[in-house]
Structure 1
């Protein structure tokens, strides 16, 4: 009888501790600063879903890729090309509907942007842990590159 009571109390304690545990997503949102200029926050108005190339500052042009729909939200890439080289990349649309999306993309987008500028093409690696965003980014990037050439 003593063993049964101890077993029951131990089991009840374990269950109470498991349900009482607060995960990191249940507390106040943590903010991770993103280096300035790494990516552009989403616009207040929704840009057109079609890709376009527009002349920009002296000898450079801006190309906006198609919006790539992903399971977590839209991704859109905008390039600035000068003398045939990608000089700047911004991401006007990306999944940011919740804390986890924002956390993933604050990490992933600067990596994707850096790889784009280094590779000068859409042949870049996906970011582990941000596969869906990476896939949408690459599709929109290729669309923007297709409108530059």
Structure 2
């Protein structure tokens, strides 16, 4: 004999189980993760020096010739989440290093995005040898600030 509650009760049970399963799946998802402290796929993130390290940049520029090693700082580009400023090292006109002087780090999410995006952008900049690189998904503002600061450093270096 069928109970009048048989079918609706079964539907409620199935709906409840589906909802619980969906919630558990959502809770198991994690946002962008950084492998280790600031590294992406085995590539270490560039250290973020303090602004007082600009003296190092001036000293490197003073003793280098056109074929030697030069270090140049780009403009500090203000983004929605904070400033982005880069320092590039050039050797014989080729970009050999890009390091972040300033990145958005006002909160944990800003730090997470910068820690995820900056190493990828640096890898692309070194490969492209220019500021013609793609933005990182989920880090559009940081990427745009990175590209602008990189271009201003390249312009300053005359490359």
Give the number of aligned pairs. 123
Alignment RMSD (CA, Å): 3.1
Match in the other structure for 2:135: 126
Match in the other structure for 2:81: 72
Structure 1: runs of 5+ lacking an equivalent: 1-21, 25-29
Determine whether 1:98 maps to 2:102. Answer: no
Query: How do residues 41-56 of structure 1 correspond to structure 2 at under 5 angstroms?
Result: 41-43=48-50, 45=52, 54-55=61-62
Aligned match for 2:37, one of 3, 23, 33: 33
Which structure has the larger Rg over C-alpha atoms? 2
Deviates more, 1:102-111 or 1:38-47: 38-47
Aligned mates of 2:53, 2:82 — CA distance in 1: 13
Richer in helix (by share):
2
Q: TM-score, normalised to structure 2's length?
A: 0.66
Match in the other structure for 1:108: 117
Contact 1:55 1:62 survives alignment (8 Å): no
Contact 2:45 2:115 survives alignment (8 Å): no
Aligned mates of 2:101, 2:95 — CA distance in 1: 17
Q: Name segments (4+ residues, structure 1) moved above 3 Å.
A: 44-48, 55-58
* Closer/same/farther in 2, CA of residues 32 and 90 from structure 1, 3 Å limit: same
Q: TM-score, normalised to structure 1's length?
A: 0.70
